[in-house]
């Protein structure tokens, strides 16, 4: 009887100890997870303002299935939330006045701004608001967000490369390049699209955007 009781007590103690360890360990783990999440959300996103004079926004579209045509936007503005410690983007906000499109031909610019394409009078700006960023390597990542263009808002995902930092005259700078593509028919621009919605029509359906940003710390 005494031995059985002792065995029971030892077994109980072992069980209780194990349970306690298990509870303690999981609590510690969740605390660690909570702490990580809290670190992320509370990560310092140093605000930077995009310098248009040192940045570029370029678009590429297929022309009659034969060549790639490039154009640019000469005006834009934005802000970047940058984690200087991690060297990662936290948030990006961008606005492009669509009337600043430049295709190196005044008549074509007028056509692009008209109701056939951008319809600038009705949709004067395009905007991007990021919703998340995931680093994929040193200075690279994937930036997701909502692109509002031609009256429609769609979720897009951009590949970010060449995140870098620098200094100009005592002003801290950061920069990156983001590339993404979308189907212009998704935004209601169907002029000169091939019947199959592909790239072999008078103008391709896929538009590729390259945004090269340099921003200065506020």
- Residue 80 or 112: the one with the smaller Cβ distance to another protein is 112
Q: How far apart are CA 22 and CA 167, in angstroms?
A: 51
- Residue 20 or 121: the one with the smaller Cβ distance to another protein is 121
CB of 75 to another protein, least distance (A): 14
Q: Is 99 in the site for another protein (CB under 8 A)?
A: yes
The answer to whether 178 and 190 are in contact (CB under 8 A) is no
Is the four-CA dihedral 123, 125, 131, 134 of positive or negative sign? Answer: positive
Interactions with another protein, residue window 3-62 (CB under 8 A): none
Q: Per the structure block, which two tokens stand in for 72?
A: 């640019």
CB of 191 to another protein, least distance (A): 5
Q: Is 120 in the site for another protein (CB under 8 A)?
A: yes
Binder among 43, 60, 108, 173 for another protein (CB under 8 A) = 108
Length of the chain: 218
Q: How far apart are CA 209 and CA 76, in angstroms?
A: 14
Q: How far apart are CA 53 and CA 94, in angstroms?
A: 15
CB of 99 to another protein, least distance (A): 6
- Residue 36 or 105: the one with the smaller Cβ distance to another protein is 105
Q: How far apart are CA 160 and CA 173, in angstroms?
A: 17
Q: Is 111 in the site for another protein (CB under 8 A)?
A: yes
Q: Which residues bind another protein (CB under 8 A)?
A: 64, 99, 104-108, 110-111, 113-116, 118-124, 150-152, 188, 190-192, 201-203
């Amino acid at each position: 009887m005494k031995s059985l009781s002792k065995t029971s007590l030892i077994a109980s103690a072992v069980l209780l100890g194990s349970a306690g360890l298990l509870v303690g360990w999981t609590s510690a783990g969740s605390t660690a997870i909570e702490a990580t999440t809290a670190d992320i959300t509370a990560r310092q996103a140093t605000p930077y303002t995009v310098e248009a004079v040192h940045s570029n926004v370029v678009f590429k579209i297929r022309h009659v299935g034969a060549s790639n045509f490039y154009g640019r936007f000469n005006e834009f503005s934005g802000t970047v939330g940058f984690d200087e410690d991690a060297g990662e983007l936290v948030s990006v906000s961008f606005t492009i006045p669509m009337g600043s499109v430049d295709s190196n031909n005044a008549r074509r610019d007028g056509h692009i701004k008209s109701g056939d394409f951008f319809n600038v009078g009705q949709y004067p700006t395009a905007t991007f608001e990021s919703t998340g960023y995931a680093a994929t390597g040193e200075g690279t990542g994937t930036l997701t967000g909502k692109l509002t263009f031609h009256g429609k808002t769609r979720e897009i995902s951009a590949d970010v490369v060449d995140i870098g930092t620098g200094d100009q005259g005592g002003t801290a700078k950061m920069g990156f390049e983001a590339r993404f593509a979308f189907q212009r028919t998704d935004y209601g621009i169907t002029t000169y699209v091939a019947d199959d919605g592909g790239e072999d029509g008078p103008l391709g359906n896929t538009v590729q955007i390259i945004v090269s940003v340099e921003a200065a710390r506020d």
